[in-house]
Amino acid sequence: MEKIQPRSLYLEVADRIRDLIEQGSLLPGEKIAEKALCETFGVSRTPLREALKVLTSEGLVENLPNRGSRVVRLTRRGVKNTYDVMGALEGLSGELACQHLTDADIEEIRRLHQLMLGHYQRQELAPYFEVNQQIHERILAASNNDVLIEMYNNLSQRVKRIRYSVEMGSANWAKAVADHEAMLEAIEARDGKRLGDILRAHLGHKLEVAAVSGIIDEE
């Protein structure tokens, strides 16, 4: 029997606004009109404002006193900072994961890796990213550290709105794939230190790609 989970309205609303930001319905820098959102969601201002406060402390929204809320702008520098931290967290996830990964986990990662290689060879960008992310999620989950997972997901959410350009440089792409080859080797050897180092370095490549997208403001 499934337990019914009473969920607060403000959490529901926060999820919905997160979606709107992620999919680009609410653009960076855009002012968030409370009244309008209340009507679209069919709730009063109280839970909506509570949700906005949560999103503010998550770094997705900013609150200007007496002047309402707006979606935070992504700056090149801010995105770089975010990726740097995500890299450090991924590095830790790799080190920890090697302590917990079961043989079945590794087999599953190997499978995903091969799948990803196929997408790379056929130059299928979207499916490639999809599987790529699944691999990183597996490693993250295997870290067995919920604080780490929480932090990473928060940062990840902040940069999710960046739509990676289809024109990912082929050199970058090749480098990323090579990183993944090395990762798999480290995982199979359960060499946490090495996996950590690879992962810490791995995220660097994404940045230049991101900068191409139009969402990022120069400061």
Which residues make up the interface to DNA (CB under 7 A)?
Answer: 6, 8-10, 31-35, 43-47, 49, 63-69
Tell me which of DNA, a second copy, none is bound by residue 32, counting a contact when its beta carbon lies within the kind-specific cut-off of 5 to 8 angstroms.
DNA
Angle of helix 125-142 relative to helix 170-188, nearest 10 degrees, comes to 30
Residues in Cβ contact with 156 at an 8 Å cutoff, skipping those fewer than 6 apart: 86
> Residue from 21, 131, 155, 203 that binds a second copy (CB under 8 A)?
155
Q: How far is CA 14 from CA 11, 18, 32, 168, 190, in A?
A: 5, 6, 13, 32, 39
> Of DNA, a second copy, none, which one sits near residue 59, judging by CB under 5 to 8 A according to partner kind?
a second copy
Burial annotation 132-146 (CB, 10 A radius, 16+ → b, else e):
beebbbbbbebbebe
Sign of CA dihedral 50, 54, 60, 63: positive
Output the smallest distance, CB 34 to DNA, in A: 4
Q: Of residues 103, 107, 150, 219, which one binds a second copy by CB under 8 A? A: 150
- On the 0-12 / 13-18 / 19+ scale of CB atoms within 10 A, 17 is buried
Nearer to a second copy, 6 or 214 (CB): 6
Q: Which of residues 76-135 bind a second copy (CB under 8 A)?
A: 78, 81-82, 84-85, 87-89, 91-92, 96
> Quick one: what does residue 155 bind among a second copy, DNA, none, with the CB cut-off 5 to 8 Å set by partner type?
a second copy
Contacts to a second copy by CB under 8 A: 6-8, 10, 46, 49-50, 53-54, 56-59, 63, 65-66, 78, 81-82, 84-85, 87-89, 91-92, 96, 145-148, 150-151, 155
